[in-house]
Copies of this chain bind each other. A is one copy, B any other.
Amino acid sequence: MDVFEALYTTRAMRRVKEDSIPDDVIKSIMDSAIRAPSGSNRQDWKFLVVTDKKTREELADIYRETWDYYVKSFYNDSEDLGASSLKNKDEIETVKRISNSASWLAENYHKVPLLVLAFSRNDPTGSSIYPAIWNLMLAARGHGVGTCLTTVMNFKTEDVYKVLNVPSDKGWTLNATITAGYPLGKWGVAARKPVEEVTYLNKWGESPDWNLTEPLWNY
Q: Does A64 lie at the interface of the complex (its beta carbon under 8 Å from any beta carbon of B)?
A: no
Q: Are B4 and A2 in contact (CB under 8 A)?
A: no
How far, in Å, is A55 (CB) from chain B's closest CB?
5
Q: Does A203 lie at the interface of the complex (its beta carbon under 8 Å from any beta carbon of B)?
A: yes
Which A residues fall within an 8 A CB radius of B?
1-8, 10-12, 23, 27-28, 30-37, 39-41, 43, 45-52, 55, 81, 94-95, 98, 125-127, 129-131, 133-135, 137-139, 141-142, 149, 151, 164-167, 175-176, 189-193, 195, 198-205, 208, 210, 212, 215-217
Q: 15 A-B contacts, Cβ less than 8 Å apart?
A: A1-B3, A4-B32, A8-B35, A27-B208, A33-B195, A34-B193, A34-B198, A37-B149, A43-B192, A46-B204, A48-B202, A50-B201, A125-B151, A164-B203, A165-B204
